[in-house]
Structure 1
Amino acid sequence: MSTLYIVAGLPGTGKTTLSEYLQRELGVPLFCKDKMKEILFDVVGFQSPQGKEQLDRASTEILYYDARHCLEAGGDAMIESNFKACDLPDVEKLAGEFGCRCVTLYLTGDLRAIFDRLCARNHAPDRHPAHAIDDHYPLLPGESDPATILEDWDEFEAMVTSWEVEKFHLGPVVTVDTTDFSKVDFPSVLAELRACLQ
């Protein structure tokens, strides 16, 4: 039976770092929504917040498309995204198509710590700049980076409330507190994940 590994949680909780570790240890194909979105940023670009939202929706569909083909071939797949409660029916449908088992890895923690990490990440040199830009990308020649988005605490809290990420889960759930990401025990998370599937 195929397994669909689902890595979920708010932005800035460390989903990509942890999922890349799990990919190496489990030998499972990993599909990260942000990586797909970055390709669309560079190839297609956007000229408005609405255009950016379209790329977000497109990257979600590509995520499901790629995972679907792995499951259809009888293999396992791992999908990583900041899944919201409203995404649950689509992922349930994906899993139901092939009768695969699911396990959710949910990353959470102190909201203030996550917010601070998210703000710092917006300015990290290895972070794609378009994630933190709302109105247009690519930038015009000589144009400086516009003000970044999601660096207002009240807006962040409103986003957290509206997304209801804590309600997204499918199958057994392994919850990981990433308030201090340096203290996350990766091998223990892997062991707990494997135990859920025995």
Structure 2
Amino acid sequence: MTSPTLIVVSGPSGSGKTTLAHALARALGCPAICRDEIKEGMAHATPGFTPSPGDPLTQRTLTTFFEVIGLLLKAGVTVVAEAAFQDRLWRPGLEPLAGLGTIRIIRCTVDATVAQARIARRVEENARRAAHDDHDLLRALASGESSLDAFVPISLAAPTIHVDTTDGYHPCLPDILTFINDR
């Protein structure tokens, strides 16, 4: 039996991670486990929740995210895992999973103005985004307090591909799938 693959889709906010993760999961026939979607489900079950940096719900989300991924990998399931995956926060959760399957890292990149427009659009169009601190992120980006350039990508010893999502996918989806399946 071959080992499952853990496809790690990462990138800064607004870089198209979730959209790409779901497209990959559909193409591969496997689940996409998205950190933000887990948090949205927890927020739904927590009336009155207000997001803030490091809040208890965010901490529980992180633990649950890695537990679910580990459970699936141990069962032999290939998984697409999507989150920002900034190195210092996420590498400690990913490293223990390395022995459970083959890891492929996909780093989403995007033009900063496109990312900011995507963040603004999802705040307007998706009520579930209230579980996240997108309004503060937009304010910080607009004021220059924060920059998408501050994103520190995950640094694991695993094959990595950079995908520009500014206008479609470059490289294209079939090429990304070839990268994932190359053993």
Q: TM-score, normalised by structure 1?
A: 0.77
Structure-2 residue corresponding to 1:164: 152
Q: Give me the identity figure in percent.
A: 27
The residue number in structure 2 matching 1:138 is none
Establish whether residue 178 from structure 1 lines up as the match of residue 162 from structure 2. Answer: no
Larger radius of gyration: 1
Q: How many residues align?
A: 176
1:43-94 CA distance string (max 9 Å, x none): 11424626x7221221121111111111112222221111111111220112
Mark the CA change 1:35 to 1:95 in structure 2 (over 3 Å): closer, same or farther. Answer: same
Per-residue CA shift, 1:150-189, capped at 9, x if unaligned?
11321331x642x413x44451011101122477732332
Structure 2 residue identity aligned to 1:130: A
Q: Which runs of structure 2 are paired with 1:112-151 in the superposition (5 Å)?
A: 112-124=113-125, 126-131=126-131, 133=133, 148-151=135-138
The answer to whether 1:11 aligns with 2:13 is yes
Distance 1:179 1:127, change over 3 A: farther
In structure 1, distance between residues paired with 2:70 and 2:51? 31
Distance change in 2, residues 1:31/1:132 (3 Å): closer
CA distance in 2, matches of 1:48, 1:25: 33
Q: Please say if residues 105 and 176 of structure 1, whose CA atoms lie closer than 8 Å, have aligned partners that are also in contact.
A: yes
- Are the counterparts in 2 of residues 10 and 107 from structure 1 also a CA contact under 8 Å? yes
Q: In structure 2, do the counterparts of structure 1 residues 131 and 156 end up closer, same or farther at CA, with 3 Å as the change threshold?
A: farther
- Correspondence 1:3-152 to 2 at 5 A: 3-45=5-47, 46-47=49-50, 49=52, 53-86=55-88, 87-96=90-99, 98=100, 100-124=101-125, 126-131=126-131, 133=133, 148-152=135-139
Q: Give the root-mean-square deviation of aligned CA atoms.
A: 2.4
Change (3 A) 1:80 1:47: closer
The letter of the residue matching 1:155 is E
Structure 1 unaligned spans of 5+: 135-147
CA pair 20-127 structure 1, distance change in 2 beyond 3 A? farther
State how far apart, in whole Å, the 2-side matches of 1:175 and 1:114 are.
Answer: 16
> Where does the alignment leave 5 or more consecutive residues of structure 2 unmatched?
none
Give the direction of change, closer, same or farther, for the CA distance of 1:181–1:71 in structure 2 (3 Å limit).
same
Matched, 1:191 2:178: yes
Tell me: CA distance 1:129–1:88, structure 2 relative to 1, closer, same or farther (3 Å). Answer: closer
**Where has structure 1 moved over 6 Å in runs of 4 or more?**
none
CA distance in 1, matches of 2:51, 2:120: 22
Whether the 8 Å CA contact 2:163–2:169 is kept in 1: the answer is no
Instruction: Identify which range, 109-118 or 171-180, moves more after superposition.
Output: 109-118
